[in-house]
Amino acid sequence: MNIRIVGTGKPKSNFIVEGVEQYRKWLGAFGRVDLEYFPLGGTTAREREQVKEREGRRYLKAADSQDKILLLDAQGEQYSSQEFARMLEKWQNIGVSNLSFFVGGPLGFSNEVLSKGWQKLSLSRMTFTHEMAVLILLEQLFRAFAILGNRPYHY
Amino acid sequence: MNIRIVGTGKPKSNFIVEGVEQYRKWLGAFGRVDLEYFPLGGTTAREREQVKEREGRRYLKAADSQDKILLLDAQGEQYSSQEFARMLEKWQNIGVSNLSFFVGGPLGFSNEVLSKGWQKLSLSRMTFTHEMAVLILLEQLFRAFAILGNRPYHY
């Protein structure tokens, strides 16, 4: 299964870049992992809505109808790591070959994106930096494949 | 407010060590941050219960009656970052000067630790590596102080 993570704003912190690379490498054993980032827009109050709309159009354009798309969203459903793994297994079993996670930027998703009916996934009730969200998602994907493959993963 | 994080198993991944250092430094503006790690024990099935008991005794010994102690536990309560910040504020207001977070190791806490009546905090329904939990906790502590101080924190 190929995995694509699409975010807004490339991770800047060195430790995140390193962690993302580590998990991307480890995940390589299970399929291709692509990371794409849209540029960050302005964040002054006046610009916020416009920027969100513009970012939203980029996500809509990036959405391939062949892909299973998930939005990382605070309002989404929370799953345990076991449930997340079983969900991945189910998608594998029904032949999903491309899985896209849209992470969103600091402003969140536009209404147009939110109303597309894509499944929404929440990592926590807490708010994470968007770069931390990418790292956590990759770690959970690796954990899920480890669970499904019955591989030890103690860290 | 001084913060102490007590875990089992020192973070090994380079990116975690770096991230922990970054947030520890940033948090230094708000108080002292101490990180203590107990050594990891064996993890064969036969040893698990014994190791958990032994680790448990270390946590009990590390618990200062003057401290406000919280356990990071999957069965704990989840808070939003805003709620977590308000909780910190409340503790500051009632004069809590030392806050201890017990993170636990890969085996979780012993029953003796779990039954002490300490507040239990869950970061997510997902399971994280214990080193990732330390990093996320530090990030949330920094976020909380940023929220309380009305400081911008966009990442």
| Distance of alpha carbon B32 from the chain centroid | 14
Of B22, B81, B140, the CB nearest to A15: B22
Of B19, B43, B140, the CB nearest to A126: B140
Write out residues 94-123 of A within 8 Å (CB-CB) of B: 106, 123
B23 touches A at CB < 8 Å: no
At the topology level, CATH places domain A2-148 in: Alpha/beta knot (3.40.1280)
Confirm or deny that A40 is annotated as ligand binding: no
| Distance of alpha carbon A120 from the chain centroid | 10
Contact A4, A36 (CB under 8 A): yes
| Strand pairing category for A2-8 and A98-104 | parallel
Q: A-B interface: how many C-beta pairs under 8 angstroms?
A: 85
Lowest-confidence pick of A101-105, A110-114, B140-144, B149-153: B149-153
Is 0.80 topped by the overall pTM?
A: yes
B15 touches A at CB < 8 Å: yes
Q: Do B125 and A13 touch (CB under 8 A)?
A: no
pLDDT of residue A16: 97
R_g of chain B computed on alpha carbons: 15
> Which positions of chain A have pLDDT values less than 50?
155
Asked if the model's pLDDT at residue B153 lies above 80, the reply is no
Nearest CA distance, A25 vs chain B (angstrom) = 14
Residue spans of the domains in chain B: they are 2-148
Looking from the CA of B2 toward its CB, the CA atoms found within 13 Å total 8
3-class DSSP state of A36: strand
pLDDT of residue A43: 64
Nearest CA distance, B136 vs chain A (angstrom) = 8
Confirm or deny that A60 is annotated as ligand binding: no
Q: What is the ipTM of this complex?
A: 0.90
Of A18, A22, A131, the CB nearest to B155: A131
Cα dihedral value B33, A20, A69, A106, nearest 10: 50
A142 touches B at CB < 8 Å: no
pLDDT tens per residue across span B79-124: 999 999 999 999 999 999 999 999 988 888 999 999 999 999 999 9
pLDDT of residue B60: 96
The arrangement of strands across the sheet holding B33-38 comes to: B33-38, B2-8, B98-104, B68-78, B119-122
Q: How far apart are CA B23 and CA B38, in angstroms?
A: 21
Of B12, B15, B78, the CB nearest to A19: B15
Question: How many C-beta atoms lie closer than 10 Å to residue A6's C-beta?
Answer: 20
Q: How far apart are CA B99 and CA A93, in angstroms?
A: 47
Within 8 A of B22 by CB-CB distance, chain A residues are: 13, 15
Q: Do B127 and A79 touch (CB under 8 A)?
A: no
3-class DSSP state of A19: helix
The DSSP line for chain B is: -EEEEEEES---SHHHHHHHHHHHHHHTTTS-EEEEEEPP---SHHHHHHHHHHHHHHHHHH--TTSEEEEEEEEEEE--HHHHHHHHHHHHHTT--EEEEEEE-TT---HHHHTT--EEEES-SS---HHHHHHHHHHHHHHHHHHHTT-----
